[in-house]
């Protein structure tokens, strides 16, 4: 039996673990049972996948936890709070709440994406229709899910933390590298599971279990994917664009019984530049925390006209701010590229000033779409070289000179950082001199000791 406390500590990123601990703490304070569920538990068990997003299920109303979350910029650790409470406190930068499902999609200020949802049952009155939802306990919630490998949970309650719940034996299917739906009507009730089967199969290199293949064939023959509504279609397209190899998945869907038209007929009739997806992945492979979603969206629609691009953006990207960013990405990149390739950004500090104002997707777009050496070098310096310089800023040395941390302290470090980028400070001696000057510490005047001044020189013999 795997030790899931150890797996969470070792396999989740530090930011993900901080979010998990924080939500667990809030749930305990509210007397709620919280569970890590779905894909995160699957990937912890499998051990060969990066944990992408976190899914949490709570027995009771998630709003009791959501009301306790801080928004970005307002989080303030309590002076009376324990060290653990202050260490686990995290802020929310974006939250979308679905009242029907009693679920929230959350993006935290540290970059972690998560879903917090009420444990529920789902009853389908008709294929493709939205189900009737009712509160439930965790085991009922797990049994209503798509595949056995996604129907596992890990308790986050202090009294049972790390306990695995696996009522449909998903761990055994992970061992067999199989995807198994939980009942024969699974694809009929929710046709989007057809697309998830192909998407997860390609990502994990898992095969559909024998009965699942039979039920899939029946669903495809009945063309149940044509019953998906635009919201479901957009959600599945969004999930594909968040994959590491969206081109492979889209190409596969195009060749399997017309599955791609089930997501969007006009898109399926267009020329999708599949190789460009591979280029994007190659360019950003070494960049920590690189999010290729907006680049992949641009790649998906770049052969379409403006009207179709806007239509698909509205369909795929629910957040209006992100949608606006996606539609202006190419235009904004052209403006930045024009400055980067000119003398206006001649000094590294000028490059830093320009690029530090740009969102990450725009920087990735420049690397993927602009082959000019000057532009690529300057973007790479910003992403790789400049952070190394900033990480070595002389904070301890500045404090040793008597400067207390605060706005003036940070202003001095920022000036030193920019001068180091431009090569004005190269040696430790130059650094010390610059710190003293910026801190307003005058150099001591060099004086010859009086005893030495009055000493007679020895006579020459």
CB within 8 A of 336, min separation 6: which ones? 354, 355, 358, 362, 366
Q: The whole model's pTM is what?
A: 0.86
- Least confident span in 44-48, 127-131, 285-289: 127-131
For residue 378, count CB atoms less than 10 angstroms from its CB and return exposed for 0-12, middle for 13-18, buried for 19 or more: buried
116 bridge partner residues: 56, 104
Report yes or no: 219 and 191 within 8 Å, Cβ to Cβ: yes
pLDDT band at residue 330 using 50, 70 and 90 as cut-offs: very high
The pLDDT of 85-103, averaged and rounded, is 79
Residue entry with tokens 């430790």: 428
pLDDT digits (tens, 9 = 90+) for 368-402: 999 999 999 999 999 999 999 999 999 999 999 99
**Average pLDDT for residues 130-136, to the nearest whole number?**
93
Are the beta carbons of 57 and 37 closer than 8 angstroms? yes
Q: Measuring CA to CA, which residue among 71, 5, 68 is closest to residue 31?
A: 68
Residue 346: Cβ-neighbour burial (10 angstroms; 0-12, 13-18, 19+): exposed
Can you read off the two tokens belonging to residue 119? 């444990």
Least confident interval from 126-135, 196-205, 226-235, 395-404: 126-135
Residue 90 pLDDT > 90: no
Q: Which residue has the higher pLDDT, 210 or 83?
A: 210
* 8 A C-beta contact, residue 347 and residue 413: no
What was the pLDDT predicted at 1? 55
What mean pLDDT comes out for the span 22-46? 96
In this model, does residue 432 exceed pLDDT 80? yes
User: In the chain, where does the domain assigned CATH 3.30.460.10 lie?
Assistant: 1-176
Fold exhibited by the domain 1-176: Beta Polymerase; domain 2 (3.30.460)
Answer yes or no: are the C-beta atoms of 106 and 113 closer than 8 Å: yes
What angle, 0 to 180 degrees and rounded to 10, lies between the N-to-C axes of helices 230-241 and 192-204? 10
Note the pLDDT of residue 344.
Answer: 81
d(CA 231, CA 228): 8
């Amino acid at each position: 039996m795997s030790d899931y406390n150890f797996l969470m500590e070792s396999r989740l990123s530090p930011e993900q673990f901080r979010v998990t601990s924080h939500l667990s703490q809030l749930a305990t304070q509210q007397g709620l049972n919280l569970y890590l569920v779905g894909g995160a538990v699957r990937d912890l068990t499998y051990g060969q996948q990066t944990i992408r997003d976190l899914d949490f299920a709570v027995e009771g109303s998630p709003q009791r936890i959501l009301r306790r979350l801080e928004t970005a910029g307002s989080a303030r650790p309590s002076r009376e709070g324990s060290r653990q409470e202050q260490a686990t406190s995290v802020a929310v930068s974006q939250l979308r709440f679905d009242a029907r499902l009693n679920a929230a999609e959350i993006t935290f200020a540290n970059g972690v994406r998560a879903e917090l949802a009420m444990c529920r049952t789902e009853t389908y009155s008709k294929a493709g229709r939205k189900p009737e939802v009712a509160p439930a306990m965790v085991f009922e919630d797990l049994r209503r899910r798509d595949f056995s490998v996604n129907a596992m949970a890990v308790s986050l309650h202090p009294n049972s933390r790390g306990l695995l719940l696996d009522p449909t034996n998903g761990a055994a299917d992970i061992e067999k590298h199989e995807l198994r739906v939980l009942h024969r009507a699974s694809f009929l009730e929710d046709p989007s599971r057809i697309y998830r089967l192909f998407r997860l199969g390609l990502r994990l290199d898992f095969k559909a279990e024998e009965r699942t293949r039979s039920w899939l064939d029946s669903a495809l023959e009945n063309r149940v994917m044509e019953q998906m509504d635009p919201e479901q279609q957009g959600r599945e397209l969004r999930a594909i664009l968040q994959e590491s190899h969206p081109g492979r998945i889209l190409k596969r869907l195009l060749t399997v019984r017309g599955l791609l038209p089930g997501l969007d007929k006009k898109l399926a009739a267009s020329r999708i530049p599949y190789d460009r997806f591979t280029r994007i992945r190659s360019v950003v492979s070494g960049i920590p925390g690189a999010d290729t979603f907006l680049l992949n969206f641009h790649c998906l629609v770049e052969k379409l006209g403006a009207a179709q691009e806007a239509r698909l953006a509205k369909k795929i990207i629910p957040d209006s701010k992100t949608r606006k960013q996606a539609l202006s990405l190419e235009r904004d990149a052209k403006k930045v590229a024009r400055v980067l390739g000119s003398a206006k950004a001649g000094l590294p500090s000028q490059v830093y000033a320009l690029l530090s104002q740009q969102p990450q997707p725009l920087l990735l777009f420049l690397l993927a779409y602009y082959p000019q050496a000057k532009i690529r070098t300057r973007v790479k310096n910003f992403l790789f070289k400049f952070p190394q310089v900033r990480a070595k800023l002389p904070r301890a040395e500045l404090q040793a000179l008597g400067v207390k941390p605060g706005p003036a302290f940070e202003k001095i470090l920022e000036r030193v950082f920019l001068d180091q980028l431009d090569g004005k400070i190269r040696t430790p001696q130059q650094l010390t001199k610059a710190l003293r000057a910026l801190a307003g510490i005058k150099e001591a005047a060099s004086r010859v000791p009086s005893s030495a001044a009055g000493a007679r020189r020895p006579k020459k013999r």
